[in-house]
Chain A
Amino acid sequence: GENVEQHPSTLSVQEGDSAVIKCTYSDSASNYFPWYKQELGKGPQLIIDIRSNVGEKKDQRIAVTLNKTAKHFSLHITETQPEDSAVYFCAASRLVPISNFGNEKLTFGTGTRLTIIP
């Protein structure tokens, strides 16, 4: 099965600086990589995702990059703000058609607690 490793487990950055979280995966067939943000007392929320036919995707201050050869992908947050403080999870799975009722479920990393220092 798929195995996703996430680093670092904790990260503190000064407000305004950039933060980078990295994940590696083991299944070369994985081709869908979402990132989730979990604020205190809430469930994880999808913030950005990338598919293997794309090397980079950006949405305002957040971006995700993918290196399929090395089997790793990263989340980049620029100009960090206090509201970026949260736990971030990466995940990986295979893309399958919706009509294929297989078991290609998301495998999650163990999370990164990001703290933005004012």
Chain B
Amino acid sequence: NAGVTQTPKFRVLKTGQSMTLLCAQDMNHEYMYWYRQDPGMGLRLIHYSVGEGTTAKGEVPDGYNVSRLKKQNFLLGLESAAPSQTSVYFCASSPGTGGYGYTFGSGTRLTVV
């Protein structure tokens, strides 16, 4: 039972480079989320999806894009990385919103130099 799997676990990018973070869940959850975690800032929602083919903006969406082509996968893209995007990124999934605990992945530590 893998739960939520994130790849890669670590990545160093140069400013201006692009990359995609992959999140995969095997629990048949409808909802998926991307968060970033910075010291003293807690967890901030970047984008989320309420089902296959849907995406919506969260609290801090600028500089990121997402896609949910398959129910089990949620991709987070950085088109032109900036040092301000240095962070730890977490993916999560849930059966629905409200009253359902989220299952988080183990995170991706991204450094933009």
Contacts and interface: CB of A to CB of B under 8 A. Distances in A.
B4 to A, nearest CB: 8
B95 interface: yes
B33 A105 contact: yes
Contacts, number: 68
B97 A43 contact: no
B43 interface: yes
Contacts of B41: 110
B77 interface: no
A31 to B, nearest CB: 8
B99 A105 contact: no
Contact of A43 (B51, B96, B107): B107
22 contacts: A34-B101, A34-B102, A36-B104, A41-B106, A41-B107, A42-B106, A43-B90, A43-B92, A43-B104, A43-B107, A44-B43, A44-B102, A44-B104, A46-B102, A51-B99, A93-B99, A96-B96, A96-B98, A96-B99, A98-B30, A105-B33, A111-B42
Given A45-B104, A93-B97, A105-B97, 16 more contacts: A32-B99, A34-B101, A42-B106, A42-B107, A44-B104, A46-B101, A49-B101, A89-B43, A93-B98, A94-B98, A96-B98, A96-B99, A101-B51, A103-B50, A110-B40, A110-B42
